[in-house]
């Protein structure tokens, strides 16, 4: 188990869409297109088949919390004349927009949580070290 400071740093990196392992800002080529590996530390982001289920759960929870907050706030503010149709349309839009835009962040948060719960295995550490060595040799020869 890692200490609290290290755990918070790993989680913060995930919330900032950075590689939770090393902090590199480039896990994504663009907002939704994730690289297979970290370009800095070589971490393979999808550590096993079905890996992104946790990210989907995080994304669903955040999306529904935002949706619920908007619904409750609107009902409280407008009670007793709740505008049902506009509220329904806003709710649909919020569910679509938040789910789509937050998903990349949910993925790096999930990687961070997974790294804290399941630290890199020996073969993953060897693999990332080998990739770093190859990258360093390649850049030194250029």
Q: Name the residues that contact Zn ion, by CB under 5 A.
A: 19, 21-22, 24, 38, 40-41, 43
What would the two tokens of residue 96 be? Answer: 């679509």
Burial class of residue 19 in the structure, from the number of CB atoms within 10 Å of its CB (0-12 exposed, 13-18 middle, 19+ buried): buried
CA 30 to chain centre: 14
* Residue with smaller CB distance to Zn ion, 58 or 131: 131
Distance in Å from the first CA to the final CA of the chain: 40
* Residue with smaller CB distance to Zn ion, 43 or 94: 43
Least distance in angstroms from the C-beta of 113 to Zn ion = 16
Q: Identify the residue whose tokens are 């393979």.
A: 44
What would the two tokens of residue 2 be? Answer: 């890692």
Least distance in angstroms from the C-beta of 11 to Zn ion = 15
* Residue with smaller CB distance to Zn ion, 99 or 105: 105
Least distance in angstroms from the C-beta of 90 to Zn ion = 38
Least distance in angstroms from the C-beta of 44 to Zn ion = 10
* Residue with smaller CB distance to Zn ion, 22 or 87: 22
Element (H, E) at 133: helix 122-141
């Amino acid at each position: 188990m890692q200490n609290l400071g290290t755990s918070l740093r790993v989680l913060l990196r995930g919330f900032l869409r950075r590689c939770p392992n090393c902090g590199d800002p480039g896990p994504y080529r663009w907002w939704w297109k994730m690289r297979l590996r970290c370009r800095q530390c070589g971490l393979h982001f999808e550590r096993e088949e079905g890996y992104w289920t946790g990210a989907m759960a995080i994304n669903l929870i955040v999306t529904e919390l935002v949706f619920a907050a908007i619904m409750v706030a609107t009902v409280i503010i407008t009670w007793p004349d709740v505008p049902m149709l506009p509220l329904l349309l806003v709710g649909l839009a919020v569910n679509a927009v938040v789910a789509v835009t937050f998903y990349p962040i949910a993925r790096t948060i999930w990687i961070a949580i997974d790294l804290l719960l399941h630290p890199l295995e020996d073969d993953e550490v060897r693999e990332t070290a080998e990739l770093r060595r190859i990258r360093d040799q390649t850049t030194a020869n250029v």
